[in-house]
Structure 1
Amino acid sequence: MKRTIRTTALTVGALIAALGLQAGPAEADTTAPRIDLRVLVVSDGGPATDAIAAELDAAGTPYTKVDLTRSDRPAIDAGFLADTVDGRPRARFQAVVLPNDNPFAAGNPEMAALVAYEKTYAVPQVDAYTYARPQAGLQVPTSGGYSGSIDGVQAQVTAAGKAGPFGYLDGTVPFEDNSPTVGESYAYLSTPAPGADFTPYVQAPAPGTGRQGSLVGEYRHDGRRELVVTFVYNQYQQQFRLLARGIVEWMTGGVHLGASRNYFAVHVDDVFAADDRWDTQLNCTPGDVDCTNGAGTPHPIRMTAADVDHATAWQNSRHFTLDLVYNGAGSVDQREDNNGVDQLADKLIADRNQFRWVNHTYTHAFLGCEQNVTVVPWTCSANADGSTKWVSRSTLDQEIAANRAWGQAAGLPLQNDELVTGEHSGLKLLPQQPADNPNLALALGDNSIGWLASDNSRDPVQRQVGPATTVARYPMNVFYNAGRAAEQVDEYNWLYTSRAQGGSGICEDNPATTTCLPAPLNAGSGYGDYIVPLETRIALGHVLANDPKPHFIHQSNLAEERIAYPVLDGVLDGYDALFADNTPVVNLRMKDIGVELQRRAAWKTAVQAGQVTAYRIGGTVTVQGPDGTAVPATLPTGTTRDAAAFGTAYAGAASGWTASDGSALTFTLPSSAAAPAATPGTTAAATRPAPRTKVPAGVTEQVPYTPDS
């Protein structure tokens, strides 16, 4: 026994000396090491490490990436990993992410340096995607396990996972199976190796058997902790999106910069107005600019009072609030045509406090260039000198101010600094209008607009337009000109099938279009069987990606057959089935989304410029950033700042933004969040490199290719 104790002590001392650190007791804060709140991501160019890096990016968690494929990369040695600051040992990284349990060639000293570093500072390691083998605490798959596709498999969070880093999940982790012809997932399912201290957190049954194998688990050995992940993924796949939060919480011990939520907001455009209807014979929309020379007869779609009742009942049942984006002239016109009667407006105004409201301009006029609609597609009209003829500043002012005045007279609970222009017009629109209407910024200033909606498919990056900041919105592929499922399917088929199949040929002209169909959808079942699941998956992907941008549909989609609700229910039902009660959907209004995006951009700029310092010493976290840049953090429940509780509860932790005046912010962690301590253990040589793992095409090609496809 004495010999074992002496050997361990010498080993730890040797490791400290090798890293150039001062030996000494770590119990007191005066000598406790400083752990910088930054993650080291070592990448081999594969999708798994890139996915974890994307999660850190989205949350605002600082990290340093070392690309093993680059010849000019830094060497990972003792000096790279640790040093001394003001006489105190400093660990530069609070966690290490590797492509697998050992990505280095045999004889490379870098893995040995990482092993020593992790043991000395109790820094955890994530094996982003590794082969199941004893060096990772698991039996090889050939010993009663499984290697292969797990497309469509339902994995489960174990009791240990729920009690640990994955407690925000309800239990089920479904693996996508979006294409019957493309492999999308690959895994090595296995059980702990004999004698290994290994705890599965997420496991799945091996296909064709009842045997459970680990997909994510913790391996404790030689004074180190590894999170061992044995399936491959990309940043868009639902299975990763579900587990990403837990991976970060595990490796940071729940103490890190950055914060994330699961957001969902839905704007309903054109309220009070009517939307033109798709003509299934003409393959265009009479009354709109896609029908040449005014072809066809318009048959508008407009909500009724009964549709309002349905919307309020739906909201109450879902505990969810819709944003109604309104055009007051729609009601004025209705009353003029119906002897002063507008039952829809009367009902909406009576129920106005059930919804959030956003100015959508008075008549929904196009506010960019003056359109020449005698040709399809339309073009911008030109002045005599050839310059673009723009809609005037006075017209813009009138559209914004008149609608605001109408809404105020109706008692709508408005935020006067929010605006959605009709079709996002006034903003640049390729190919016809490559620049903003120069009068737009002036009119926004005239009307004190601070937040202006843009179309994420055309203008995704937040930017300034005069005094206003844009808030990009995701267009849902539930068409504005469809009140019935058959109309939606007919237009969908026209857009996304070949000319030989009776379609527009857009997919032949633009092969990058990802919604192309191999054959037309069935008119009766295509909406429910194909479009609804696809749109649900895309929208839910945004929700799971810490993306606050709102989605938008149109009032026509809440009328007649109310075709938007199956998609909205699909998103919310799908979410409820996946997450625990402590992780609700966050439903923000437009300006709050704008503020969130604005703060993220400022924070990202500060981090990338090296203007943020953050570290933990014992039970104290210190963060310093630029004056005026709010600081996002996720910390254990019970954390305080200036004796006041920090943050808001979400997903089992406290998180939020803290205003900064440029001085140091200090957070006191609860006693339950003890600082990690190095665990003495035997000194083991670095294990041999991990075997090469399989990556199926669906992970690299992304099925669907992106969340917007």
Structure 2
Amino acid sequence: MQRIFRAGALTAGVLVAAFGLPAGPAHADTDTPRVDLRVLVVSDGGPATEAIAAELDTAGTPYTTIDLTDADRPVIDTAFLADTVDGRPRARFQAVVLPDDNPFAAGSDEMDALAAYERTYAVPQVDAYTYARPEAGLRYPVDDGYSGGLDGVQAQVTAAGRTGPFGYLEGAVPFEDNSPDVGESYAYLSQPAPGADFTPYVDAPIPGSNARGSLVGEYRHDGRRELVVTFVYNRYQQQFRLLARGIVDWMTDGLHLGASRNYFAVHVDDVLAADDRWNTDLDCTPGDVDCTDPSATPDPIRMTPADVDHALAWQADRRFTLDLAYNAAGSVDQREDHGGVDALADRLIAARDRFRWINHTYTHAFLGCVQDTSVVPWKCATNADGSTRWVSRSEISAEIANNRVWGRNVGLPLEDDELVTGEHSGLAVLPQQGEDNPHLGPALADNGIGWLGSDNSREPGRRQVGPATTVPRYPMNVFYNAARAAEQVDEYNWIYTGRAQGGSGICEDNPATTTCLDAPLDPATGYQDHIVPLETRTALSHVLGNDPRPHFIHQSNLAEDRIAYPVLDGVLGGYDALFAADTPVVNLRMKDIGAELEHRAAWRAALDAGSVTAYRIGDAVTVQAPAGTAVPVTVPTGTTLAGTVFGEAYAGRMSGWTSSADGPPTLSLPSSAAAPLDDTASAGGTTPAPAPAPATTVPVGVSESVPYTSDR
């Protein structure tokens, strides 16, 4: 599978220059309706509609929510759904999401209005989670179907799904089974009702039968189209994350504001330096300020040339590039202590162009307050007047500049505006240091730093620090002080078991911690059997969530037992098994991730301000946004702008960031993307108003919580 390595896969500048043109020609006829690129989400407060809304949010797709539990909500009637603009009929929503096929009372005027609206403007409807029944195009589950749990079941995209909205998937749709004590998935498996125009897109085997039942399918009736989903889910579950893109693609006919990719980047910190090793007897790390036993002797972990060769071979096999955050003093000290010899640095420098490189400061010094390590835990040292003593601006600047100079002298392909400080220091760190070092911002300015790595477990949001914008990084729970699986398991057991079992008691003090253990893991098997699957699942959930934020590990994890690779292989191998070749992992460097997050924040602000309008009239799409706003757009293949093909191919569609600098841009859709009103495939006639769906079982959802891992 080919992966995207080039910078800015979805950054501004993809087609910005192409928008230096006036708006497209006005439409002379007023019979062709205008359809606004906005989704209507009607919610009953359940997890399924919330999950779809979250997918729209993440992609940057505008939507309006109607909360059925709100007594003061607007009434859904003809006036709410459609009106006239400049003498032209306007459909205010391009798609409708309902909690089930009919969430209203029998004979509801609102359901009648929605049905008439969908029929008039060929607007698709998604039934987020509905009971299998004839009104939804399916047989009742009691008729040779199934109602019950699907934990651990492997569903499959059908042939129609592969040529339709789920073609970006390889085929398998595994349902999670993360806990034997929790029912995580509930579904109705059923076959199409007799005479129904129903096409299954995703199905699964019906227990006790050779037949398969639909989980996601399209039901055409009465001039309308419904996507019928018969399993419950929440926004974090893998089965939904795999299908979310296709649900949005189906409801928008591949045309909507917003865009998404599946991102994965891995930063390897402390390269060239050495990391102190966890002591399995003392349950602490010699060299750390909290390891006070007089017998505690540091036992450093440092990569070897063979580890570099392994990393290079792994990269080539996985078609993936690691980002190496380096500390040059590690090599300088090595040469001073070994007669000028540093075989590790020599091998890395020889292969420098096959990695990406990030300045991680010269010595990995702590750049926040001056640490008082005479107490455990340490505290910030103070001046005579009680004020905090800070590492100076000149010291911070020297750490940045000296590391950069060393890198330039050995020919590293650096980006001078990227920086990750040691332990993310200089930034606030609780409980000891409640604010940034006031000298950090000026020192960043002195050195032209525009992008500064931060710890996502502490600060998931991006923010300004002087001239720099933070790029939050996910810590992987593969410890910096472990190079062997047994060390990782021993420390993991100490952290996540109770005091009575010899553990730290963190879980007793913080019962919300999600990685707590009922019993210690087996040192021989615990890493591969427990930690690797858990960390793989967590990281893969980020990849599937349109989340570009990078992950970070440490050079120690690439040495000795090379314990990082099973997790990385789990993520990339698992991904390759699930996705088709046209939907590769996007592997960006830090500054491009920062730019992507920056564009998203500006776009979100424009959406929140209500200053964005986009609509389709026939084969023309017009976007109106504040001048200079970068706009994410997803369109069918073959869409053009001023005669130039628009966007970059991904998952069977074209998408990219645009600009409205010189007026509203107009995109021209290909003839293959016929206007929805040209669709004559729906069967005619009418069907009786469906009765309300029976109550459905919604099991407890699976929440996401990433445990904190210190960056040392």
Deviation string 1:100-138 (CA, Å, 9 cap, x unpaired) is 000012233111110010000000000000000000000
CA contact (8 A) 2:47 2:235 kept: yes
Q: Distance in 1 between matches of 2:373 and 2:673?
A: 65
Cα gap change, 1:389/1:255 in structure 2, threshold over 3 Å: closer, same or farther?
same
Q: How does 1:509-658 map to 2 (within 5 A)?
A: 509-658=509-658
Q: Distance in 2 between matches of 1:433 and 1:627?
A: 41
TM-superposed CA distance for 1:690, in Å, is 1.4
Deviation string 1:236-276 (CA, Å, 9 cap, x unpaired) is 00000000000000000000000000000000000000000
Q: Distance in 2 between matches of 1:29 and 1:490?
A: 73
TM-superposed CA distance for 1:618, in Å, is 0.7
- Specify the code of the residue in structure 1 equivalent to 2:471: V
The 3-state SS of whatever aligns with 2:545 is coil
- Specify the code of the residue in structure 2 equivalent to 1:465: V
Q: Does 1:688 align with 2:691?
A: yes
Q: Distance in 2 between matches of 1:315 and 1:521?
A: 31
Deviation string 1:376-410 (CA, Å, 9 cap, x unpaired) is 22111112222211111111011001101111011
The 3-state SS of whatever aligns with 1:416 is coil
- Specify the code of the residue in structure 2 equivalent to 1:696: P
CA contact (8 A) 1:150 1:207 kept: no
| Identity fraction in percent | 75
TM-superposed CA distance for 1:210, in Å, is 2.7
The 3-state SS of whatever aligns with 1:414 is coil
TM-superposed CA distance for 1:708, in Å, is 6.0
Q: Which moves more between the two structures, 183-192 or 209-218?
A: 209-218
Deviation string 1:634-667 (CA, Å, 9 cap, x unpaired) is 0001110011110000000101111221610110
Q: Does 1:336 align with 2:339?
A: no
Q: Distance in 2 between matches of 1:707 and 1:637?
A: 37
Q: Distance in 2 between matches of 1:374 and 1:360?
A: 27
Aligned twin of 1:279: 279
CA contact (8 A) 1:29 1:618 kept: no
Q: How does 1:218-233 map to 2 (within 5 A)?
A: 218-233=218-233
- Specify the code of the residue in structure 1 equivalent to 2:696: T
TM-superposed CA distance for 1:456, in Å, is 0.3
TM-superposed CA distance for 1:209, in Å, is 3.2
Aligned twin of 1:507: 507
The 3-state SS of whatever aligns with 2:306 is helix
Aligned twin of 1:68: 68
Q: Does 1:366 align with 2:366?
A: yes
CA contact (8 A) 1:287 1:294 kept: no
CA contact (8 A) 1:483 1:562 kept: yes
Q: Does 1:259 align with 2:262?
A: no
Q: Distance in 1 between matches of 2:213 and 2:173?
A: 14
Aligned twin of 1:174: 174
CA contact (8 A) 2:158 2:202 kept: yes
Aligned twin of 1:399: 399
Aligned twin of 2:350: 350
The 3-state SS of whatever aligns with 2:416 is strand
- Specify the code of the residue in structure 2 equivalent to 1:174: P
Q: Distance in 2 between matches of 1:682 and 1:160?
A: 25
CA contact (8 A) 1:263 1:546 kept: yes
- Specify the code of the residue in structure 2 equivalent to 1:504: S
Aligned residues: 679
The 3-state SS of whatever aligns with 1:66 is strand
- Bigger relative contact order, structure 1 or 2 (CA pairs below 8 A, ≥6 apart): 2
The 3-state SS of whatever aligns with 1:492 is helix
CA contact (8 A) 2:326 2:360 kept: yes
The 3-state SS of whatever aligns with 1:649 is strand
Aligned twin of 2:269: 269
The 3-state SS of whatever aligns with 1:469 is strand
Tell me the C-alpha RMSD between the 2 structures.
1.3
CA contact (8 A) 2:457 2:706 kept: no
The 3-state SS of whatever aligns with 1:438 is coil
Q: Distance in 2 between matches of 1:706 and 1:489?
A: 20
- Specify the code of the residue in structure 2 equivalent to 1:51: A
The 3-state SS of whatever aligns with 1:148 is strand
TM-superposed CA distance for 1:465, in Å, is 0.6
Q: Which moves more between the two structures, 560-569 or 104-113?
A: 104-113
The 3-state SS of whatever aligns with 2:73 is coil
CA contact (8 A) 1:538 1:708 kept: no
- Specify the code of the residue in structure 2 equivalent to 1:284: C
TM-superposed CA distance for 1:294, in Å, is 6.6
Structure 1 unmatched runs, 5+: 1-26
CA contact (8 A) 2:279 2:286 kept: yes
CA contact (8 A) 1:112 1:685 kept: no
Q: Distance in 2 between matches of 1:55 and 1:657?
A: 18
Q: Distance in 2 between matches of 1:70 and 1:707?
A: 33
- Specify the code of the residue in structure 1 equivalent to 2:250: W
Q: Distance in 2 between matches of 1:199 and 1:707?
A: 39
Q: Distance in 2 between matches of 1:138 and 1:501?
A: 53
Aligned twin of 1:236: 236
The 3-state SS of whatever aligns with 2:649 is strand
The 3-state SS of whatever aligns with 1:292 is coil
The 3-state SS of whatever aligns with 2:453 is strand
Aligned twin of 1:212: 212
Aligned twin of 2:15: none
Q: Distance in 1 between matches of 2:565 and 2:28?
A: 58
CA contact (8 A) 2:533 2:567 kept: yes
- Specify the code of the residue in structure 2 equivalent to 1:476: M
- Specify the code of the residue in structure 1 equivalent to 2:101: D
TM-superposed CA distance for 1:31, in Å, is 1.9
CA contact (8 A) 2:515 2:707 kept: no
Cα gap change, 1:684/1:191 in structure 2, threshold over 3 Å: closer, same or farther?
closer
Q: How does 1:281-360 map to 2 (within 5 A)?
A: 281-292=281-292, 296-360=296-360
TM-superposed CA distance for 1:207, in Å, is 2.9
What is the TM-score normalised by the length of structure 1? 0.94
TM-superposed CA distance for 1:147, in Å, is 0.1
Q: Distance in 2 between matches of 1:180 and 1:59?
A: 33
- Specify the code of the residue in structure 2 equivalent to 1:371: Q
Q: Does 1:467 align with 2:464?
A: no
- Specify the code of the residue in structure 2 equivalent to 1:399: E
Structure 2 unmatched runs, 5+: 1-26
Q: Distance in 2 between matches of 1:315 and 1:559?
A: 15
The 3-state SS of whatever aligns with 2:415 is strand
CA contact (8 A) 2:359 2:404 kept: yes
Q: Which moves more between the two structures, 381-390 or 152-161?
A: 381-390
Q: Distance in 1 between matches of 2:342 and 2:210?
A: 62
The 3-state SS of whatever aligns with 2:439 is helix
What is the TM-score normalised by the length of structure 2? 0.94
Deviation string 1:519-578 (CA, Å, 9 cap, x unpaired) is 100000000000000000000000000000000000000001100000000101000000
Q: Distance in 2 between matches of 1:707 and 1:422?
A: 21
TM-superposed CA distance for 1:208, in Å, is 3.8
Q: Distance in 1 between matches of 2:29 and 2:635?
A: 19
- Specify the code of the residue in structure 2 equivalent to 1:694: T
CA contact (8 A) 2:477 2:707 kept: no
